[in-house]
Amino acid sequence: MSYFNPEHRRRKSILPLLTLGSLCVFILYYAFAANQRTRPILPENAVRPHLVHWLEENPDAWPAQDPIFNPAAVRRIYQRTDYRLLWFDNYSLSDSANDLLKQLTAASSGNPSSMVDYRYHLGYFDRTLQDTPQHLQMAAVLDVLLTDAFVSYAQDTQLDRIKPRSRPRRGITPVQRDNQGFRLVALNTRQQQPPAEPSGRKYFRGYDRAANLGGQVRSRSYAREYNADTTSQDSGRRYFTTTRRQYRDSNSTSNSDSRVYYNQGRSNTAAVPIRSANSEGPYYEENRPYGNNVRALRNELQRLREMSASGRWRPIPPGPAMTLGARHPHVSHLRNLLALYGDYESYYSYGGTDRNRFDRGLHQAVVRFQRRHGLRPDGIVGRSTRKRLNLSPTARARIVEMNIQRREALPEQMGSRFIQVNIPAYRLKYVENNQVKLAMNVVVGKKKHATPEITTRVSKVVFNPTWTVPRSILVNEILPKARKNPAGMEKMGYRVISGSGEQLPLTPQNLSAAGAGSYLMRQLGGEENILGRVKFEIPNIHDIYLHDTRARKLFSLTTRGYSHGCIRLEKPRHLAEALLRPQGNWNQWRIDQLTSGDKTTEVDMSQVVKVYITYWTAWVDGRGNLNFRPDIYGKDGLVDNQF
């Protein structure tokens, strides 16, 4: 018998291979886990060359889009710390940095219309701090901007630039010195004793702001304590305290038209019940000229044509963002362009000598241009502002021509009382006798649910309205949610409505009938209603109406196209009061009462108030300013204006 006969060959076991493979997998997993737990080490002086280059040798080489607003103070701080990172623990933000970001965010929330967001670099931090920075240069840039924001916040607090509702109480400063350097002071809602030493004047490692100002710290021209107690001397008027949101009446007031006054202090007078959370406060008429006549548009069209023919217009070349304090050759170009548009009146009127320096006068001109174009008025020439600046006079003339046609399609006299909603401007105006009495931001339809152009009227005002869900929204959005969580949808007020009008629970059978079209679905009036507390019915074939909303944060955005076609109002109660005043005793108190609870109340309009839902991408306002807005629905057919 041959030894090599396959029948006598012994089979080898696979157990050693499995053991070896398992051991390799275990070693690899252990190495990976150990690597995940290892934190990258940032050398102590690794960023020194970058900081010296940016702060000392070549400030124009600063790589970030956000500028350094306090270069002298920031440079002095890093000189004293030998150009080390101040806000990082290796490649992670330190606890002090996280506390500082929270403090800056809290201060910015009370100042939505100011420049604090940009001065504190909050937008830059939001974009770059989503992930832990792993690059040395990125960590250095973030550290410098955190220091710059720290200095800006300390200055704003000391100079009372932060509004009273967002800044700390007097006697409490954002930063306090101690033996270990500096630390943030948490805000305390209770009154605290004044500190033993004025530590708020020294906000970073011995830097004394009072000493640098010759011992005199600048302050406002008036002295008004945020927590000071004030006692009213006028017993016949009603006051409204904004800080505590309480109403008080020293005498009984039978006249509902009695004026309301604001007071930021406290009062020893006993307070009456706190106002409703649904209230928008007292309504004051604005009384601004309406304008918007076609003759002014024709004059602007002629001016744009002359500007185009003159050859003076030149776009701004690509380059860095420009803001107050910047020095760049493009600044002179920007100055000439704004003077051509009419936003910059005269260079010499501001007393400057360097045309390449972004001075206060140029900042005001940029803000004026941004307001005319619906941009955020922050005075920063970034990407969006640069695109609008570079819209040529020829393109602007074409836009004005199209809007002349749209304006001529409406009556020359639009009525003694009317509402105009301009879709591209996301803005509503209520006008009486050619005077704007009320204006507010609105949310319009997104591009696939475009709000149509309509001429109609207000037929009725509905308080605590119900909402019958449209078929498309029912099938695509509401029914899947109702099948997944019927109890939660019922808690929000959703009911299936039978053919006889009976309200049915959200059972699987009733939901199937609603999906098949046999039943309707309706949301009852109340706090959770998607239409909010007020709805204005305007008859039209598109089933569009004006209404309140629970999504209040959308009104602070620059672009507000989020609805399914209806128009959401920022101040619906003020509009209801303005419309219903001629019909009797309608005031804030009555409307606040009707918008509480869940009872639905309908009020028919006794007078005709026209409603014009327009699509104007260019118009001349009552002050004679030519305004432009982006072509959000693409109706102009001009790509240059579709931002």
**pLDDT tens, position by position, 426-483:** 999 999 999 999 999 999 999 999 999 999 999 999 999 998 898 888 888 889 999 9
Query: pTM for this one?
Result: 0.61
Least confident of 4-8, 10-14, 571-575: 4-8
Mean pLDDT over all residues of the chain? 77
DSSP state of 506: -
Angle, to 10 degrees, between the axis of helix 329-341 and the axis of helix 360-372?
Answer: 50
φ and ψ at residue 451, rounded to 5 degrees: -70, 125
Distance between CA atoms of residues 330 and 321, nearest Å:
10
Q: CB count, 10 Å around CB of 404?
A: 18
Q: Cα dist. 228→196, 232, 249, 643 in Å? A: 21, 13, 20, 49
Q: What angle do CA 35, 38, 42 make, to 5 degrees?
A: 130
Q: Which residue has the higher pLDDT, 386 or 136?
A: 386
Q: Write out the H or E segment, with its range, that includes residue 135.
A: none
CATH of 412-466+525-641, one of 1.10.3720.10, 3.40.50.40, 2.40.110.10, 2.40.440.10: 2.40.440.10
Nearest-angstrom CA–CA distance, 455 and 448: 21
Strands annotated E in 304-388: none
Give the model's pLDDT for residue 166.
Answer: 46
Match 């004006």 to its residue by tokens: 546
Please give the pLDDT value at position 134: 56
Of the chain, the end-to-end C-alpha distance in Å amounts to 90
Report helix angle 71-80 to 136-158, nearest 10.
120
Q: Which fold has domain 314-391?
A: Muramoyl-pentapeptide Carboxypeptidase; domain 1 (1.10.101)
| pLDDT given for residue 125 in this prediction | 82
Give the whole-angstrom CA distance, residue 74 versus residue 57.
14
- Locate 187 and state its tokens: 């805000």
Could you give the count of Cα atoms lying within 13 Å of 377 in the half-sphere of its Cβ?
13
Which residue type is seen at 336? N
Residue 88 has pLDDT above 90, yes or no: no
DSSP one-letter string for 255-319: -TT--EEEE-SB-SSPPPPBPPTT---------EE-B--HHHHHHHHHHHHHHHHHT---PPPS-
Contacts of residue 48, defined as CB under 8 A and 6 or more positions apart, other chains included, come to 82, 83, 84
247-256: long-range pairs with CB below 8 Å, 24+: 247/271, 247/272, 247/273, 247/274, 247/275, 248/272, 256/585, 256/587, 256/589
Report d(CA 96, CA 102) in Å as an integer: 10
Check for a shared fold between 314-391 and 412-466+525-641.
no
| Domain residue extents for the chain | 48-212, 234-275, 314-391, 412-466+525-641, 474-523
580 neighbors 603 (Cβ within 8 angstroms): yes
Query: What local confidence, expressed as pLDDT, does residue 160 receive?
Result: 53
Q: Which helix (H) or strand (E) holds 444?
A: strand 435-445
The reported pLDDT for the residue numbered 308 is 92
Cβ atoms < 10 Å from Cβ of 37: 7
Residue 486 CA to residue 12 CA, distance in Å, equals 62
CB 418 within 8 A of CB 363: no
Helices and strands per DSSP (H, E), number in the chain: 19, 27
- Report the alpha-carbon distance of residue 474 to residue 162 in Å, rounded: 46
Whether 547 contacts 572, CB under 8 Å = yes
393 has a pLDDT exceeding 90: yes
- Cα–Cα separations (whole angstroms), residue 344 to 79, 317, 331, 332, 618: 39, 19, 13, 12, 20
Residue 618: strand, helix, or coil: strand
Which residues have CB under 8 Å from 158's CB, separation 6+?
173, 200, 201, 203, 209, 217
Q: What's the sign of the alpha-carbon dihedral 434, 542, 427, 410?
A: negative
Please write the tens of the pLDDT for every residue from 254-292.
333 433 333 333 344 434 444 556 678 888 899 999 988
Q: How confident is the model at residue 122 (pLDDT cuts 50, 70, 90)?
A: confident
The confidence score (pLDDT) of residue 131 equals 56
Residue 584, C-beta contacts closer than 8 angstroms, at least 6 positions apart: none
Which H/E stretch holds residue 430? strand 427-432
| Cβ atoms 427, 560 nearer than 8 A | no
| Identity of the amino acid at 28 | L
| 31-35, 158-162, 622-626: which is most confident | 622-626
